[in-house]
Amino acid sequence: MSYVDEVYERVVNQNPGEVEFHQAVKEVLDSLKLVISANEENYRKMGLLERIVEPERIISFRVPWVDDNGNVQVNKGFRVQFNSAIGPYKGGLRLHPSVNQGILKFLGFEQTFKNSLTGLPIGGGKGGSNFDPKGKSDREVMAFCQSFMTELSKYIGADQDVPAGDIGVGAREIGFLYGQYKRMTGLYEGVLTGKGLNYGGSLVRTQATGYGLVYILDEMLKHNGKDLNGKKVVISGSGNVAIYAAEKAQQLGAIVISLSDSAGYIYDESGIQLDLVKEIKEVRRGRIKEYADVVKTAVFTEGKGIWSIPCDIALPCATQNELDIDDAKELKKNGCFAVAEGANMPSTRGATDYFLENGIYFMPGKAANAGGVATSALEMSQNSQRLSWTFEEVDEKLHDIMVNIYAKAADAADRYGVSGNYVAGANIAGFEKVVDAMMAQGIV
């Protein structure tokens, strides 16, 4: 059995039931086979693969809080500190009922390679809770966040582990978490990113994941003789990533015709009115269906099915495994020629392979959505220097980082004889830097 297959088997046996983690590890290991076989003896001697698939530490804790009816609620809290070879652990916190240790391990594993691709000194981590912020009052969200941070504050710090937002964690939650960290530790430091602009946040962090996604998409299209102008774009989700991907796509001349949430999707052939979406989602915390109640050209359809809308470009920006092989076939049949992942692992392995085998330009999440964490790292730099850069400065740096990520993924794919396969390219380029650092630091 090859070293890669041996390690994958070990991951499945030692992490039973953690199917998303198995899926993420398999995709990365499969695309590293060529790199690994060229260095197998050395990697085996150093236990490199066995170490790279094992989180350095998982913190798991109880999060008790009191709801508005005076009842005690208890949630599970986690922080997976996956890999610190190239910098302090860095990655978001997810608040969603589906959160469990396996999902956070898959996200922490992906984050390690994504963060490496940014070229910035950040290791990989992820955390969160099965708490559902939907339908909770501000006071309940604050009570949860304070309890969560009371425990988490023991394990994080500006040079140790720097969490941020992910699904269910936006400016409101980061504010509550930051306030409690300061109260617990007495430190005013860059321990979280995505902070408000008045207390150490960076301009562009709110927009960064969505903007970065469209910057790298544009770069991929340019290198393949295409552009965004006049193209019909379908985007799933209507949260932070989806909204700012739509904004940048519109700025570059595309027509965004669809958005969704977990209840269903809207289709507006005249182009989505983003100011209204922001009002519904960011101000009222409402449902995407409300858009169709106001805009007469729009139709709301309940349930799944967003990928059956004919489009040129698809941007999955909601959650993992939201796009399967049947969706991929439907997209291709309807003329879609490019897919870039704003979410983490939104395409199943079957869908990813279908895109690669059927000539669809495909940019995987760990490259395509790296603009968020890259801008978080820029926030860390500004906090360390006690400086704030302008919107234009940060946006230009973000753009350069995304162009560089494209170049790294394309170059690694070329070097290993799989030109145009940005999945392999991103995995290889992300892996190389982490591995160099791990080999240099000995068996730790």
Ligand X SMILES: NC(=O)C1=CN([C@@H]2O[C@H](COP(=O)(O)OP(=O)(O)OC[C@H]3O[C@@H](n4cnc5c(N)ncnc54)[C@H](OP(=O)(O)O)[C@@H]3O)[C@@H](O)[C@H]2O)C=CC1
Positions at the binding site for substrate: 90, 111, 114, 165, 376
Tell me how far apart the alpha carbons of residues 145 and 143 are, in angstroms, rounded to a whole number: 6
Tell me how far apart the alpha carbons of residues 133 and 152 are, in angstroms, rounded to a whole number: 18
Contact flag: residue 96 with ligand AKG (CB under 6 A): no
Beta-carbon contacts of residue 232 (< 8 Å; ≥ 6 apart): 254, 255, 257, 310, 311, 312, 313
Q: Is 174 helix (H, G, I), strand (E, B) or coil?
A: helix
Least distance to ligand X, CB of residue 411, Å: 23
119 binds, among ligand X, ligand AKG, none (CB under 5 to 8 A by kind): none
Q: Quick one: residue 130, left, alpha or beta (phi over 0 = left, psi -120 to 50 = alpha)? A: alpha
Q: Closer to ligand AKG at the Cβ: 31 or 206?
A: 206
91 binds, among ligand X, ligand AKG, none (CB under 5 to 8 A by kind): ligand AKG
User: Sheet containing 89-95: which strands, arranged edge to edge?
Assistant: 57-66, 72-83, 123-129, 89-95, 161-165
Stretch that binds ligand AKG, among 23-31, 368-376, 398-406, 421-429 (CB under 6 A): 368-376
Least distance to ligand AKG, CB of residue 390, Å: 20
Among 32, 317, 356, 401, binds ligand X (CB under 6 A): 317
Print the binding letters for residues 183-202 with ligand AKG: x by CB under 6 A, - otherwise: ----------x---------
Active site residue ranges: 126
Contact flag: residue 166 with ligand AKG (CB under 6 A): yes
Among 27, 166, 173, 327, binds ligand X (CB under 6 A): 166
Question: CA torsion 77→82→87→88, rounded to 10°?
Answer: 20
Beta-carbon contacts of residue 344 (< 8 Å; ≥ 6 apart): 106, 107, 110, 320, 365, 366, 369
Question: 355-414: which residues touch ligand X (CB under 6 A)?
Answer: 369, 372
| Angle in degrees, 0-180, between the axes of helices 240-251 and 205-223, rounded to the nearest 10 | 50
Contact flag: residue 237 with ligand X (CB under 6 A): yes
Contact flag: residue 238 with ligand AKG (CB under 6 A): no
- Scored b (16 or more CB within 10 A) or e, 283-295 reads eeebbbbbbbeeb
Contact flag: residue 91 with ligand AKG (CB under 6 A): yes
Among 55, 87, 88, 92, binds ligand AKG (CB under 6 A): 92
Contact flag: residue 348 with ligand X (CB under 6 A): no
CA diameter of the chain: 65
Which residues contribute to the annotated binding site for NAD(+)? 209, 240
123 binds, among ligand X, ligand AKG, none (CB under 5 to 8 A by kind): none
Give one DSSP letter per residue of 6-33, joined into a string. HHHHHHHHHSTT-HHHHHHHHHHHHHTH
What is the binding site for ligand X (CB under 6 A)? 165-168, 209, 237-242, 261-263, 317-319, 342-344, 369, 372
Residues that bind ligand AKG (CB under 6 A): 90-92, 111, 114, 164, 166, 193, 344, 369, 372-373, 376
